[in-house]
Structure 1
């Protein structure tokens, strides 16, 4: 996270409002409250059929892939994010929380706003992830109900053929989907840079989805994959994933690991920066996430 304070506040004109930020952390704090899904949107999603829910999930996944590529390129060339966002159709951004207006306002500025653009894209991806979780929950509940209704009909029992929208809405709001496959490990915020110190002779356990891996600094900084293979990390950018062009190529049969799953920047002096770009998550011990510096 950049802690630079500007001599003059950065102003973004969003609709009929002018938002002012004295620092990048101010901007990030403002967007943190925009990563959830508004109740009105949830109400609309509850009414969707399973087919429409599936189509929306596919659309979001395609958008996420485009954003991952933009963020990945921006690590090597920070100014590339400006042109990339300008070339995107503004309508792909939701109007929830004023997201479309925020992106449009950022596009009116120059390269000096690129750090803001990166944060906005990361936070918007987190908003999309929130939508995906609700879609998965609704789809699962509707499928389960449909299967139950079919079985009941076969048994000659009478059951309603629709799941109560209110019931789904309440469960979505108050019983969010939990992923406890990784026990005490906590999922890294998608797209955010996590900076860690890896002292010589030490290891850090990391999980790609459910697969246990190790970041080691016993013989130089290495990534030890789920099969125990050692991969020395070069200075600079390292890509971990199933893609053939990855610096560390993961077994292609592990479908829960993304093609571009994790970026590791080896910046020297026993310091590394991690950026999760995956669908199923990268997990660290909570103490590491709490102590990281950005």
Structure 2
């Protein structure tokens, strides 16, 4: 009986007859063996069934039966190859800085297009044409895939949107990989500076406390890499440090959202949901009108593009549901884009640098729940108990 290798599992010919997309999954899989449950895929592609997709990849004709299968098949490509970490560790400081700059350029070009595609799914083809192929990294076959997708008919918008979301997830994971490499180098260099010259008298006498104290006093490698110091640019490592601290810190109990995949929160009328945007705590108040409250207590009415400053204590208009509609209307707000960019519906303070220029979409569904879509590089976390799947 013939079989098709699929990551860590084996798919038989009989399975292929029952699941006609099995061969397709093998075609797209990169051997990571990692899978996500199919139940999350509907949040990417919606409920509307699209027609099968015909693609030409590497001089082969590939047929995809629907966007859900396409998303499932592309999941393996969101993981950077293990060889990428080895290559980064072997790079010089200058080469690593160039790699970071390339990543930031790709991210800055993609982010506004991702936001527009999520807000206007019917115009995905038009928005994608504003990107050049150089925006897409050749790693994991992404550039080849988008070269085949970009000029397809708008009837294939559902597939294009899936590919864009999965590529955005790949960029976030690659950024985490870069952060890991920076952290390893900073720790290694700090340890080497803290270590005294080896002598017959000093061998075995330096303590861990001495090394840690010297590490705290040592200058940062960031100035060498052009990521801090006199340049004033924040070190990408900080996001990784914050994420680890959140596992046992103030963000405990929150779950990070997958980039580009909508999630519904059931908050309850007059109740607040605690959100973490790039490690910064916000509150989302549900009711006739929804309000987003920033860490300093500034209250933003969603759907109105207006900020209502609370009292000294930062209290929102109401946290009991009474009088929550400051604008005097019960009309359902539209989707609100939250971020640091001036074009956002809710513009957060510029000093909150870990929040992306276009960070989060919030779409109230009724007076108790809202749909959230994370668009950011540093992530959004929400209360686990409020997530509805």
Task: Identify the TM-score tier after normalising by the shorter chain.
Answer: 0.7 to 0.9
Cα pair 2:267 2:386 within 8 Å, conserved = no
What SS class does the counterpart of residue 130 from structure 1 fall into? helix
Spell out, residue by residue over 1:228-278, the C-alpha distance to the aligned partner (whole angstroms, 9 max, x if none): 333221121312223334322322222222232222123556553222222
Q: Which moved more, 1:24-33 or 1:265-274?
A: 265-274
Does the 8 Å CA contact 1:3/1:23 hold for their aligned counterparts? Answer: no
Query: Structure 1 residues 251 and 269 mapped into 2: Cα distance closer, same or farther (>3 Å)?
Result: closer
Contact 1:190 1:277 in 2 (8 A): yes
Out of 38, 48, 51, the residue aligned to residue 4 of structure 1 is 48
Distance 1:143 1:225, change over 3 A: closer
Gap runs ≥5 in structure 1:
158-175
Match of 1:44 among 83, 87, 107: 87
State how far apart, in whole Å, the 2-side matches of 1:97 and 1:255 are: 30
CA distance in 2: counterparts of 1:36 and 1:100, whole angstroms: 15
Equivalent residues in 2 for 1:31-110, closer than 5 Å? 31-110=74-153
CA contact (8 A) 1:262 1:278 kept: yes
CA contact (8 A) 2:263 2:373 kept: yes
Match in the other structure for 2:7: none
**Would the alpha carbon gap of residues 212 and 139 (structure 1) be closer, same or farther in structure 2, given more than 3 Å must change?**
closer
- With 132-141 and 189-198 compared, the bigger mean Cα shift is at 189-198
Show the 5 A alignment for 1:187-226: 187-226=256-295
SS of the aligned residue for 2:335 comes to: strand
Higher strand share: 1
Corresponding residue number in structure 1 for 2:244:
179
> Hey, what's the Cα distance between the residues in 2 that align with 1:240 and 1:88?
23
Alignment partners' CA distance in 2, 1:75 and 1:148: 45
The 8 Å contact of residues 285 and 291 in structure 2, kept in 1 or not, is answered as: yes
Please name the residue that 2:156 is paired with.
113
CA displacement at 1:104 relative to structure 2: 1.4
CA RMSD across the alignment:
2.6
The one of 364, 372, 383 equivalent to 1:274 is: 372
Shift of 1:145: 1.8
Aligned to 1:263: 361
CA distance in 2, matches of 1:185, 1:272: 17
For residues 137 and 355 of structure 2, the distance between their equivalents in structure 1, rounded to whole angstroms, comes to 27
1:16 and 2:59 are equivalent in the alignment: yes
CA contact (8 A) 2:109 2:131 kept: no
Which structure exhibits the higher relative contact order, with contacts defined as CA atoms closer than 8 Å and separated by 6 or more residues? 1
- TM-score of the superposition, structure 1-length normalised? 0.81
Cα displacement (A) at 1:30: 0.9
Deviations 1:61-112 (A, max 9, x none): 2211221100222244334432343343323323333212211121231111
* Higher CA-based Rg: 2
TM-superposed deviation, 1:196: 3.4
2:338 to 240, 262, 270: 240
Contact 1:5–1:23 under 8 Å retained in 2: yes
| 1:125-145 CA-partner distances (Å, limit 9, x unpaired) | 111111111111112212322
Please give the secondary structure, in 2, of the residue aligned with 1:129: helix
Secondary structure of residue in 1 paired with 2:179: helix
Closer, same or farther in 2 for the Cα pair 1:66/1:11, shift >3 Å? same
Q: Secondary structure at the match of 1:34?
A: helix
